[in-house]
């Protein structure tokens, strides 16, 4: 009996990450859900296991504490038969002038948005190389292509992850590993300081999650290296 494919998702306790988990569970992926919020992860894992014929486990991990990521991932990967998909979704951002960012905020932006995905990917790539297959999806931002004022550190981190994706895909594709960067615009989640309502100026996270599924279902001899998706009503 064939085993389900396995996906690891960061920032999975709410927002886009939770919707990606639901969309992949509907496609019979077993899941590893990563976030800081244990209760949110436990509730989502229980929901998915009840609704779908899958296994869902949680890993409570603060991606701002980069020194903890490698140890946690090595322990996790030792328990998994296969890893078919990594979705680097977790992210933070601040909308304010550069000189109003504290050192702690700057370090958190770089740690969570750039260093953590690099460390997670490094650990998973070794596993995927041994399988000669795998897919890594990095959730970026359209601000890496058309930056806004008052978001310079956030934009820099998203430029970084885009460059990381573009370089790494050339490094690992000979091992059967694919990478895709999905750059999104404004989305109806609680990522922003004030809630964003679903309308023509905000993407539906369910639709973005379905795009992740679509990307992963392309034939293995094809790579969708980058997609930019923003709402029709977005005015920047």
Domains, the chain, ordered by start? 6-229 (3.40.50.720)
How far apart, in whole angstroms, are the C-alpha atoms of residue 226 and residue 138? Answer: 9
- pTM over the 0.85 mark: yes
Residue 5: its pLDDT value, please? 97
Percent of the chain residues past pLDDT 90, beyond the cut? 85
- N-to-C CA span, the chain: 50
- DSSP classification of residue 199: B
pLDDT digits (tens, 9 = 90+) for 16-65: 999 999 999 999 999 999 999 999 999 999 999 999 999 999 999 999 99
Q: Cβ(180)–Cβ(138) under 8 Å?
A: yes
- Is residue 187 classed as helix, strand or coil in its secondary structure? strand
Helix (H) or strand (E) holding 87: strand 85-88
pLDDT digits (tens, 9 = 90+) for 110-155: 999 999 999 999 999 999 999 999 999 999 999 888 888 999 999 9
């Amino acid at each position: 009996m064939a085993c389900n494919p396995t996906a690891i998702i960061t920032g999975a306790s709410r927002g886009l990450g939770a919707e990606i988990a639901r969309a992949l569970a509907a496609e019979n992926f077993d899941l590893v859900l990563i976030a800081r919020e244990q209760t949110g992860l436990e509730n989502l894992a229980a929901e998915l296991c009840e609704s779908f014929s899958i296994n869902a486990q949680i890993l409570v991990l603060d991606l701002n504490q980069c020194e903890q990521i490698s140890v946690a991932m090595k322990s996790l990967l030792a328990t998994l038969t296969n890893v078919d998909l990594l979705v680097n979704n977790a992210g933070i951002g601040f909308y304010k002038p550069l000189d109003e960012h504290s050192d702690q905020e700057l370090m958190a932006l770089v740690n969570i948005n750039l260093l953590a995905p690099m460390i997670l990917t490094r650990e998973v790539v070794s596993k995927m190389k041994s399988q000669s297959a795998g897919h890594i999806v990095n959730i970026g931002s359209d601000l890496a292509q058309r930056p806004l004022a008052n978001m310079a550190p956030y934009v820099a981190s998203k430029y970084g992850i885009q460059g990381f994706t573009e370089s790494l895909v050339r490094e690992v594709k000979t091992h059967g590993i694919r990478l895709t960067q999905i750059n999104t615009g404004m989305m109806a989640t609680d990522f922003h300081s004030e809630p964003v309502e679903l309308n023509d100026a905000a993407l539906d996270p369910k639709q973005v999650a379905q795009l992740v599924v679509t990307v992963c279902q392309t034939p293995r001899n094809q790579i969708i290296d980058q997609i930019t998706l923003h709402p029709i009503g977005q005015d920047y």
